Chain A
């Protein structure tokens, strides 16, 4: 019977009695069957379960029910469980983490000399994707920069005027732009300067470019931060803007080729371009739920254990006197929900698979500009800021009527 069908007298009486803990737990499970998924939507909406249950929003009830458990909090890689929120809220945090947290990245490149085989635009694209890192206090103080479109492009100009940006946002200055330069030149290795004669070695048959030439590989650590104006104070010493991974290979050169360019880095959001996303990825999965309905014993239990990843199912001595081992669920978090056990005849009707609808196991991998736990907190604060912003707009809308 669907939950919205009218209740008969027996069910009404049961409803008035209140729910057992098991029944309440049951409502939290999304059913995972061999080829279908059932009970996907949340049912904690007021009125869904009739008059016996009050599901309206209660901040205190939410606060009691919310749990956060960390599995790992390394600086750029956090794994934690968020229990008690709805999927729409968890998804909002995930979307904000990936697309709406401002990050610094290389945007405009001014090329003075590029005689390498990598085209200007390809080089610019690669440089933009390099994740940068720097001191948090400096990064927080950067303001926005948005390059105004050419005056004759009326459509873009109209769109540009719609953004509510400060007038100072249309010109690069030391408050909204960070400058980095890249200057390298590749040459043959010489006896005098490098202790080996590259040309002679090449004539003998040497093929390794690291031996024959000097500076033939251009790496990310060769990007030099040039503090402008006030920036020397905010980004000093360890806090200087630099590439997070110094060993990223940008380009390869041969003798006589030079790269001489200046990069302007600005703040942007992931929705504009993926290079501005502060996370390598932020994702969550729901906690798997394995419900063993009737006991699985002996050899069947061994086979059942092999249907799941190691550590999910434990074999314990059966306390009901059969003398064999019984399968019990040890750690559902290790399960990958491959539904292997549903493929075998002997387990039909003995096990029900599912996922817990409001238990989100998060993995936040930062690219290195900010720390993972701070990123999650920023995403929570950003959702709150959005709500507050629209409260203000609603106030203005009401005033205007």
Chain B
């Protein structure tokens, strides 16, 4: 069994790109499900292969939306990597729009953090050749 995998390593298939997006495009599996009992203004979503990392961050972004009456996330069982997110909205706001906006806002936030961090880092490197701030 040990020598099973160690045949002469084949070169990657001709024409395959280096970073894994080879010619045969792999369709991403759907990792978002709508749980039963949902309606247009209140829904529970199940995110597969996600945990507190995305759950808490997304919950925060969605709660920043004044149209949201309730937003919470839970992990039903630690042995299964599923994260449930429940959104309830005021008036007639669609839950899908709220979730989409929450995800967009999170992406925008990451953009701003990335830009500011890069700027601060480059500034610091330029002004501190030994890379330590003197107090």
**Interface residues of A, Cβ cutoff 8 Å to B:** 42, 44-47, 55-57, 59, 62-63, 66-75, 80, 82, 85-86, 88-89, 91-92, 95-96, 99-100, 108, 110-111, 140-144, 147, 162, 164-169, 171-177, 179, 228-230, 262, 264, 331, 373, 376-377, 380-381, 383-384, 386-394, 396-398, 401
Contacts and interface: CB of A to CB of B under 8 A. Distances in A.
A173 B9 contact: yes
Contacts of B30: 393, 396-397
Interface string B64-105: 111000000000000000000000000000001001100111
Contacts of A394: 32, 96, 99-100, 103
Contacts, number: 207
A141 B12 CA distance: 13
Given A59-B112, A229-B9, A383 B57 contact: yes
Contact of B106 (A140, A171, A179, A383): A383
Interface residues of B, number: 68
Interface string B1-45: 011011001111100101111101011111111100000000000
Secondary structure at the A interface, as helix, strand, loop or mixed, is mixed
B11 A173 contact: yes
B53 A143 contact: no
A141 B121 contact: no
Contact of A59 (B22, B47, B108): B108
A98 B126 CA distance: 28
Contact of B114 (A176, A381, A389): A381
A59 B115 CA distance: 13
B53 A100 contact: yes
Contacts of A381: 110, 114
Contacts of A262: 6
Contact of A397 (B19, B34, B124): B34
